[in-house]
Each structure stands twice: as C-alpha cells, then as structure tokens.
Amino acid sequence: MKIAVLPGDGIGPEIIAEAVKVLEVLNLGLEMETAPVGGAGYEAAGHPLPPATLKLAQEADAILFGAVGDWKYDTLDRPLRPEQAILGLRKALGLFANFRPAICYKELTHASSLKPELVAGLDILIIRELTGDIYFGAPRGRRVAPDGHFPGSEEAFDTMRYSRPEIERIAHVAFQAAQKRDKRVTSVDKSNVLETFQLWKDVVTEVAKQYPDVALDHMYVDNAAMQLVKEPKRFDVVVTGNMFGDILSDEASMLTGSIGMLPSASLNDKKQGLYEPSHGSAPDIAGKGIANPLATILSAAMMLRFSLGMEEAALKIEAAVQKVLADGLRTADIYSEGTTKVSTSQMGDAVVKALQA
C-alpha cells in the first residue's frame, strides 16, 4: 500500500511526524513517500500543488495530509495561495464526501466548551459535501466598473451552486452512514433564502424515501449553529454543503475539547481517500512544539479503516489515544488542572508506547 505523505505548512510537519511515527510502529508494510504542498510547494516548485505532488497523490492508495497556509502568502493571487493545494487535491481526486466525526472522549468532557453533561458520550458525524457549492461554482471573479475610476466600485462575486447528482450522492453517503449508527440524519440548509439549498432540501427528501429505516429532519444552518451548542446530543449524522460544513465542523470541534481533536476523511467513490485534521496550519503556534497531534493521528486511523481495509489497526490506534488521555496526558489546548502537560512529540511518543504495551 502506498501512502502520499504531504506535511504542508505551519504545524503540518510537526503533527504529521507524530502520525508517521504511529503508523511505523504498527509495521503494516506501508510505503510512505513525502512531497511538498501548500506554501512548501510554492517554495520548492513555484506552485502550491506541484505536478509531482499531484501525481504522487493520484497514484497513492491514500494521502495523509497535514495543513497548508500561512499569513505571509495572503498577498498572493488565488491560484498561487497555499489553500489552493487542498482544494485542488479534493477536486482532482473527486473527494466529494468529507467525514468529520466530533467525538467527546470521556476524559475530555471537562475540556469541552460546554458543560460536561451536555457533551458526555457525544458522538456526532458531520458529513460535508466537499467538491461543490460556493467553493467551486462558476463564474467567480472581480469586476472593475467600466469607468474604472473608483476603486470603491470594484465588485467581487462567487457562485453558490449544486446539481441534483451532487446532492444525491452525498445524501446516499449520509443515509448509509446513519444506517450503521443511530439512524438519524439532520440535513442542514438555508432553503428559506437560497435557491441552491431549496434544491438541496428537495433532493435530500427524495433520497430519504430509499432509506425508510432512517429518520430525516431538516434544519436551517443558523439554527443548527445554535442547537450544536445548546443540545449537541440531539444530532447523529449531520449532512450539509461545503461552506456550512466547514463552519459547523470547526464549531463542533470545541464540543470535543479542541480543534486539535477533530480528524477527517475525504473520500471519492473509489475508496481512495485524503486524511487530514480538520484544523489548519496554526501559524500562531507553529515551531513551538505545542500543537495537538491527536486529530492527525486519528485521521491516520480513519485512513487505515476506510482506504486500506485495516480495521484492527485503526481500532488499536483509537484505543491507544484513549489510553494516553486516560493516563492524564494533555497538550496545551486540552490541558486542565490535575493533568500532565506534554509537547507534540511527547504526545506522539506516548501513543507509540501505548501501542507497544
């Protein structure tokens, strides 16, 4: 099995190093090859997604991705910005289904932003459509007023769009995921305002008829943002569009204790997948050795499960993460009194040790 390892920028290389350590100790015979991406790709080859990196990703069975981006690239035009690398990979590989599980480990109920009783036992699966919506809709661009005189008259625009097949396939993914869980799907939209999400709601409702064993409800995104912090356990599977899913998954991460705990899997219809933490490159803490590597380590577990068919090894990693938390080890983002603060690499080492025990 060949894995493309793309560390990226900021804390990307720090957290990926820990996930690689964990995979190596399991001795699974994985062939891991590293390539630059994002700002690192721009520095190495003049493009955030260098052709050689894209080729490696296309040929791999799975991709383990860190994060891309840094404030210093904010002045670059869109095609050259580091973030285009992850968007380009998602599009090129057809990774339309993004799984972002928000699970609150019992050891972290006190690290959550909510009262412990609201998050105890929390297990939500956010399914975010990942290759459509306003992220990829055309046309998009900027327009200068014909007179060209007033900078203030410049206009910028993006297009929010979904086609019926795009909504159908993500709805099927959500209902099938719910069948293996608590059999409840909440479809999050903004159909009271947007044409795009009226179609979304109609299509999800139609697809639901094929899954009579799954209960479907619909919720507007503004209400969903509120319900997530009021009563998060009312949700089982949440299915939504690209942009709403981006925002709601960051919000949901704080129910689990930290954005550093939220893994993700982005899948196409061939089981090829890209696995990355839901967070970004965190330039504010990069190089300090304090980033939480657990979201990346848990993403590696998802990789073993979904793309490589190694369920047993995935379960081992998840159990090892639980063990280090039960032993009281915490990176700064999930630290609380009475626990032991550890660095990024100490956390990775502890997971390795738990796997060797």
Ligand X SMILES: NC(=O)c1ccc[n+]([C@@H]2O[C@H](COP(=O)([O-])OP(=O)(O)OC[C@H]3O[C@@H](n4cnc5c(N)ncnc54)[C@H](O)[C@@H]3O)[C@@H](O)[C@H]2O)c1
Ligand Y SMILES: CC(C)[C@H](C(=O)O)[C@@H](O)C(=O)O
Find the binder of ligand Y among 196, 240, 278, 296 (CB under 6 A). Answer: 278
* Catalytic site residue from 9, 133, 246, 333: 246
Nearer to Mg ion (CB atom), residue 166 or residue 246: 246
Among 70, 189, 246, 318, binds Mg ion (CB under 5 A): 246
- The three-class DSSP label of residue 348 is helix
246 classed as catalytic:
yes
Q: Is 250 a catalytic residue?
A: yes
List of residues contacting ligand X (CB under 6 A):
11, 67-70, 83, 86, 259-260, 276, 279-285, 291-292, 295, 333
Toward ligand Y, which CB reaches closer, 12 or 280?
A: 280
| Nearest alpha-carbon partner for 20 in 317, 250, 220, 330 | 317
Nearest-approach distance from CB 211 to ligand X, in angstroms: 30
Q: How far apart are CA 15 and CA 283, in angstroms?
A: 13
**CA nearest neighbour of 292 among 341, 353, 225, 220:** 341
2 forms beta bridges with 31
Q: Other C-beta atoms within 10 Å of 251: how many?
A: 17
The entry of ligand X, ligand Y, Mg ion, none near residue 348 (CB within 5 to 8 angstroms by kind) is: none
Answer for which of 18, 107, 166, 246 binds ligand Y (CB under 6 A) is 246
Q: What separation in angstroms does the CA of 213 have from each of 182, 185, 208, 249, 304?
A: 10, 11, 9, 26, 29
Contact 306, 291 (CB under 8 A): no
Helices H / strands E in the chain, number of each? 12, 14
Residue 194 vs 229, nearer CB to ligand X? 229
Active-site option among 105, 190, 201, 211: 190
Cβ 84 to ligand X shortest distance, Å: 10
User: Total binding residues for Mg ion by CB under 5 A?
Assistant: 1
Beta-bridged to residue 127, according to DSSP, are 99, 239
Partner from ligand X, ligand Y, Mg ion, none binding residue 284, C-beta < 5-8 Å depending on class: ligand X
Min dist. Cβ of residue 260 to ligand X (A): 3
Active-site residue, 222 included: yes
Residue 107 near which of ligand Y, ligand X, Mg ion, none (CB within 5-8 Å, type-dependent): none
Q: Which does 282 bind (CB under 5 to 8 A by kind): ligand X, ligand Y, Mg ion, none?
A: ligand X
3-state secondary structure of 67: strand
> Cα–Cα distances in Å, from 244 out to 22, 69, 145, 169, 249?
32, 21, 31, 18, 8
Cis peptide before 116 (omega within 30 of 0): no
Q: Supply the DSSP symbol for 112.
A: S
Which is closer to ligand X, CB of 68 or CB of 320? 68
Annotated catalytic, 135?
A: yes
User: Hunting for tokens 């689990």 — which residue is that?
Assistant: 256
Q: Which of 9, 70, 133, 135 is catalytic?
A: 135
| Residues with catalytic function | 135, 190, 222, 246, 250
- By the criterion CB under 6 A, which residues form the site for ligand Y? 69, 83, 86-87, 246, 278, 280
